[in-house]
A = this chain, B = another copy of it.
Amino acid sequence: MREVFHDTLEDIQNRLVEVAELVAEAIEKATTAFTTGDVALAEEVIAGDERIDQMVLTTDEIAIETLAMQQPVARDLRIIVTVLRASASLERMGDLAEHIALLVRQRYPERAIPKGLKKTFKRLGELDVLVAKALVELLRTEDLRYSTQIRDTDDEIDELHASVYERVLGDSFGGEVSGAIDATLASRYHERFADHAVAISKKVVYLATGDWSGEEDVSTIEIVDENAS
Q: Which residues of A contact B (CB under 8 A)?
A: 57, 61, 64, 67-68, 71, 73-74, 77, 81, 84-85, 88-89, 165, 168-169, 173, 177-178, 180-181, 184-185, 188, 199, 212
Main secondary structure of the interface of A (DSSP, over half): helix
**B81→A73 contact, CB < 8 A:** no
Name the one of B61, B64, B184, B199 contacting A184, with C-beta atoms under 8 angstroms. Answer: B184
Is there an interface contact between B184 and A178, defined as CB atoms closer than 8 Å?
A: no
In contact, B169 and A177 (Cβ under 8 angstroms): yes
Residues of chain B contacted by A185 (CB below 8 angstroms): 184, 188
CA distance A199 to B88 in the complex (A): 10
User: A81 to chain B: which residues have CB within 8 Å?
Assistant: 64, 67, 84
* Contact status A177-B180, CB under 8 Å: yes
Looking at A61, A67, A77, A169, the one whose CB has the most chain B CB atoms below 10 A away is A67
A169 to B184, CA, bound (A): 14
